[in-house]
Amino acid sequence: MKKLKIAMRSDLNMRMGKMAAQSGHAAMKVLASHMRPSKDGLRLSNAKMNTLNAFLAAPDVSFSFVEDEAAVQTFLGQADDGQKVIDNGATEFNGIKTVTCAANGIFTEKWEDAPYDCAEDGSERKARQYFIFSRTRPLKKETVCALAAIGCLSQMAKMLEPDTQSDYKQYLISSRTNIAFDSWIKSGYAKIALCVVSDEALLDLQAQFDAMGSTTSLVERDGVKMLAVGPEFLDNISHLTGGLKLI
């Protein structure tokens, strides 16, 4: 069984929504480290796509809190495929770049060469990925963070399509046709965690996003439902998200 492990710092006093975004970043970095950039976008081999789908068919996420940055480094040292998240300090930490969490797992296949790092290039943040939680059940940090990781990976899997132009069996997220993804991946792959009051409100919101043609994933853990959306440009969906509260 494929497993994703996430270690989150407890000493930074991050709000729940911030931790959800950081968990999404961590999952994204684990996947992206196995992808390869090209002039057309980001590619993933057929074998690794199969691994990703196997994980998503029965997602197994182990989430734990660790006490400080040194403990994150210890976590990273326990596996050779670990990826750490460094927050740029734009919204918290007084503008100081800060290690927030790390993740490893899912893929047993080794990298063919150096892992790809989807690092921020300084571009303006124009597109975001959205994690929208239902408050029908109480939200717990561990559940919220696991759902964010699963939701992010589910969205990536849906955007990856067979590359019919390649001589090799690969999947591609096209930067030419998916402009929002191209903006998102080049500008720090921003994420934001929001909430609605009930499962019914969440399903209604999903229907509205789907009617717009947005990519969405509805995921559930411990009875809590979350809708992952995008990445999308804010101007395109602000009429749906503008009134939602942060978690």
Q: Locate the domains of the chain by residue range.
A: 4-109+123-246
Give the torsion sign (CA, 145, 148, 152, 153). positive
Q: Residue 42 has what pLDDT?
A: 86
3-state secondary structure of 186: helix
List per-residue pLDDT tens for the chain, 247 residues long. 589 999 999 999 999 999 999 999 999 999 999 988 888 888 899 999 999 999 999 999 999 999 999 999 999 887 777 899 999 888 889 889 999 999 999 987 665 555 555 555 444 557 999 999 999 999 999 999 999 999 999 999 999 988 877 655 788 888 778 889 888 888 888 999 999 999 999 999 999 999 999 999 999 999 999 999 999 999 899 999 999 999 9
Per the CATH hierarchy, to which homologous superfamily does domain 4-109+123-246 belong? Bit1 (3.40.1490.10)
Q: Residue 160 has what pLDDT?
A: 93
Q: Residue 110 has what pLDDT?
A: 60
DSSP letter assigned to residue 141: H
Give the torsion sign (CA, 176, 174, 145, 70). negative
Cβ atoms of residues 11 and 19 within 8 Å: no
What CA–CA distance (Å, rounded) separates 192 from 165? Answer: 34
* 3-state class percentages of the chain: helix first, strand second, coil last, to nearest 5: 35, 30, 35
Its pTM stands at: 0.92
Q: Which two tokens stand for residue 164?
A: 């019919």
Q: Residue 117 has what pLDDT?
A: 59
Q: Residue 119 has what pLDDT?
A: 55
Q: To which residue do tokens 């929002």 refer? A: 180
What CA–CA distance (Å, rounded) separates 214 from 64? Answer: 32
3-state secondary structure of 149: helix
Q: To which residue do tokens 């239902």 refer? A: 134
